Chain A
Amino acid sequence: AQSVTQLDSQVPVFEEAPVELRCNYSSSVSVYLFWYVQYPNQGLQLLLKYLSGSTLVKGINGFEAEFNKSQTSFHLRKPSVHISDTAEYFCAVSDLSGGFKTIFGAGTRLFVKA
């Protein structure tokens, strides 16, 4: 069965600084990988996804993530964060076995300070 580990529960960072949110997964088969963002009192929305092909994936709001198969990682990065990026970020893995079951990590709270 697949699993997802987000290594940091909280990441404080100053505005305009770069940020990396870490995600590791485990699965016995090929996977799709996702990052979702959840703003306060809202549902989750998709930031980006890796399906196949190029290991560097670009998403909305200037975020990107790199799939590293050997390290089973899918870390999320942004070169310069804004106050408005303050939110909860969830990494998720969808197993290509029957049912495309999607498992979410526990989340990383990004807090951008002025």
Chain B
Amino acid sequence: EAGVAQSPRYKIIEKRQSVAFWCNPISGHATLYWYQQILGQGPKLLIQFQNNGVVDDSQLPKDRFSAERLKGVDSTLKIQPAKLEDSAVYLCASSLDHSPSGNTIYFGEGSWLTVV
């Protein structure tokens, strides 16, 4: 079974530039997540989609971050303009959601962003 795919793996940009990350979840997974993981910290949920609708985006800095999940499959996360504090790993994850086995989340390898 293919895992969660993310690209690009690494990106270096200057502050005030923009960047976009792409994610393709595990086939059949209705729920997709974007997490931000700053060095030395645990992942922080930015946004959670159920199919193509947003379930939770309470911690998404909406003045600069945006995300979409067209057609309920793959997703893009955009940052514009980037700030130095946005340097982090952006983890995409997916889950079946509401399955009897519980809400196990499967993670991609992450997209490493450095803002200089």
Contacts and interface: CB of A to CB of B under 8 A. Distances in A.
A107 B42 contact: yes
Given A101-B48, A102-B45, A42 B102 contact: no
Interface string B32-53: 0101000011111100101000
Interface in B11-65: 31, 33, 35, 40-45, 48, 50, 55-56
B109 interface: yes
Nearest to A107: B42
Contacts, number: 60
Contacts of B42: 4, 6, 90, 104-107
Contacts of B44: 104
Interface string A68-99: 00000000000000000000001000100001
Contacts of B79: none
A34 B42 CA distance: 13
A99 B103 CA distance: 10
Q: Size class of A's contact patch?
A: 20 to 34
Interface residues of B, number: 29
- Which one of B42, B50, B56 has the greatest number of beta carbons of chain A within 10 Å? B42
B43 A46 contact: no
- Where chain A touches its partner, the secondary structure class is strand
B55 A99 contact: yes
A9 to B, nearest CB: 8
Interface in A31-69: 32, 34, 36, 41-46, 49, 51
Given A42-B109, A105-B42, 6 more contacts: A44-B91, A44-B105, A100-B98, A101-B48, A102-B103, A102-B105
8 closest cross-chain pairs (CB), A and B: A104-B42, A43-B107, A100-B103, A51-B102, A44-B107, A43-B109, A106-B42, A32-B102
